[in-house]
Amino acid sequence: MHMLVNCSNCRIPLQLPAGATSIRCAVCQAVTEIADPRSAAAPPPPLHHPSPHNHAPPGPPPSAHGSKKAVICGISYRYSRHELKGCINDAKCMRYLLVNRFKFPESSIIMLTEEETDPYKIPTKNNLRMALFWLTQGCQPGDSLVFHYSGHGSRQLNRNGDEADGYDETLCPLDFETQGMIVDDEINATLVRPLPRGAKLHAIVDACHSGTVLDLPFLCRMNRSGQYIWEDHRPRSGMWKGTNGGEAISFSGCDDDQTSADTSALSRITSTGAMTFCFIQAIERGHGATYGSILNSMRTTIRNTGNDMGGGAVTSVISMLLTGGSVSGGLRQEPQLTSFEPFDVYSKPFAL
């Protein structure tokens, strides 16, 4: 069994391989020396060995107490039977949006894609886990956190009785076929439950079966009158899936039971990049005032994907980056909104 030790620089939990006497942090690159792998004694000060492959912005690693932080993950699964075409473009577009529209410092954004030359920023299961730990590490009131994921999603049978539909939703890192998927229970425990009062997390998840992939307790539905209402998805077991007083809200690409025409969740994504495109376009077209206006805009665009896709600066960047039509006709998906608590989607202002 791997022992967990805290990085001596940024304090992120790291899995120490059996017998190892040191470990390099996947986030800040500091090397933590372990005097005795069987002991959890406090490690000595970090030894910094900059990686020749580290292309992170110059200067110190992102502050654990920065007011705005983001993890952006785009996985294309290239050279595999699961290959997707638009996910890395989605990641680039989301970074552009966060930096230019919402003033996120570039140094406080961790990018995980196959194009990264730093081996610790390839979207493997371990690297994605470490990035998610980093996102909430040291979170303070006033912090705004964003997690964006574009890639494959799936689901598996739930065995602890905390899912209404009997399935856990999952994200599929690059090495999921050998290392396994990341389950919604873990995502909830890492991103949602630690959030303190005054902090907020927004997740934008563009994947199959992604409706409740953060395991948030409330799901927004539209009733027969065309009004948004909240469904209570709290588990019967009574297990708490909300926050520690903070706000956690997720936009996702489709409902938990939606996938592509092929019944296999991993054969191809419902529509590569469509959800990310529609989210960014909602902001660009001035529909980003409230959560309800964003959701309406996204759902309208999904239904009318053959119409004009003109927009603002970010949308123009998307048009340049997209290769091969990430938004195609005949989409079988409805963007979803889940939350830590019910709220009036028509009046609550949206802000990152």
In angstroms, the Cα distances linking 202 to 72, 119, 247, 259, 327 are 12, 27, 8, 23, 23
How far is Cα 273 from Cα 180, in angstroms, rounded to an integer? 23
How far is Cα 59 from Cα 25, in angstroms, rounded to an integer? 16
Single out the residue of 254, 273, 251 nearest to residue 76, CA to CA. Answer: 273
Catalytic: which of 152, 202, 233, 287? Answer: 152
Q: Which residue has the tokens 């209404």?
A: 164
Single out the residue of 269, 106, 239 nearest to residue 160, CA to CA. Answer: 239
Identify the burial level of 16 via C-beta atoms within 10 angstroms of its C-beta, where 0-12 means exposed, 13-18 middle and 19 or more buried.
middle
How far is Cα 24 from Cα 111, in angstroms, rounded to an integer? 18
> Would residue 208 show up in a list of annotated catalytic residues for this protein?
yes
How far is Cα 242 from Cα 238, in angstroms, rounded to an integer? 11
> Would residue 25 show up in a list of annotated catalytic residues for this protein?
no
Q: Which residue has the tokens 């202002």?
A: 349
Q: Evaluate whether 334 touches 254 at the Cβ level (below 8 Å).
A: yes
How far is Cα 205 from Cα 148, in angstroms, rounded to an integer? 6
Q: Tokens for 257?
A: 């039971």
Q: Evaluate whether 30 touches 46 at the Cβ level (below 8 Å).
A: yes
Catalytic: which of 7, 208, 220, 278? Answer: 208
Catalytic (active-site) positions: 152, 208
